[in-house]
Amino acid sequence: MSSSLQRFLRLSLGAFLLLLLINIGLPAIFLLLQVPSFAIGNDPFWLLRWSYTDRGSGIEFNVLLLLAIAIIIGLLGLVFDRHRH
39 forms beta bridges with: 49
Domain count of the fold of the chain: 1
**Distance, CA of 45 to CA of 58 (rounded, Å):** 19
Question: What pTM was computed for the model?
Answer: 0.75
Print the domain residue range for 60.
Answer: 3-84
Sign of CA dihedral 12, 9, 21, 54: positive
Using one digit for the tens of pLDDT, what is the confidence trace for 11-23?
999 999 999 898 8
* pLDDT score for 43: 80
CB 67 within 8 A of CB 16: yes
